[in-house]
Amino acid sequence: MTGRSSTTRRRLLMGTGAATAAGLTTAVAAPAAGAQAAPSGPMGAWAVQVTITPGPGTVERAHFSFGADGQLVVQTANASHTGLGVWRRVSETRFVFVLRHLWTDALGDFQYEVRIRHEGRLTSPTTFVSEGTGTAVDADGNVLLTVHAGAKATRFGIDDA
């Protein structure tokens, strides 16, 4: 962290929650009749709502993309950050993912990195839930804050436009 007083606890919470996959499900229509069946794992695109504890009392919207090669890309609405990560299957319905995203101030100066680890569970072919932690770490590796987060997600596809 640069030592600027502009980084508040609330901002840290919002930034950590922004990519910390957690919360309530985003309502997305199920695939239309005749649409291609959803993959059996988390591969694909997901609409996610994130809630963190303790938190600012808001629900964060995000989009996750789980690649078949184990790569993960996350985009958040609140902080408009892109997170990069990896995931792996643990069992037929369970998986784990980690991701990181950078937090900057209004001038673009680095403030901290958010490191997220979640354990997910497919609850149907088109939904998953996950829980885990998000940790804000400054440039020197000092932990600034750790929060718990939970998420619910709904898969979306071409027919859900």
In tens, the pLDDT along 35-92 reads: 455 567 899 999 999 998 877 667 889 999 999 999 999 998 866 788 999 999 999 9
Host domain of residue 15: 9-26+43-156
141 is a domain residue = yes
Q: Check which CATH number belongs to the domain holding 74 and give it.
A: 2.40.128
What total of structural domains would you count in the chain? Answer: 1
pTM: 0.76
H or E segment and range at residue 63: strand 60-66
Which pLDDT score, from 0 to 100, does residue 106 have? 87
Does 33 fall in a domain?
no
* Residue 32 tokens, joined: 């239309």
Better-scored residue on pLDDT, 29 or 60: 60
Distance CA 112, CA 135 (A): 10
Domain assignment of residue 3, yes or no:
no
Residue 1 lies in a domain: no
Indicate the DSSP class of residue 39. Answer: P
Residue 117, domain member (yes or no): yes
Asked if pLDDT for residue 139 goes beyond 70, the answer is yes
In a domain? residue 77: yes
**Model confidence pLDDT, tens digit, residues 30-49:** 344 444 555 678 999 999 99
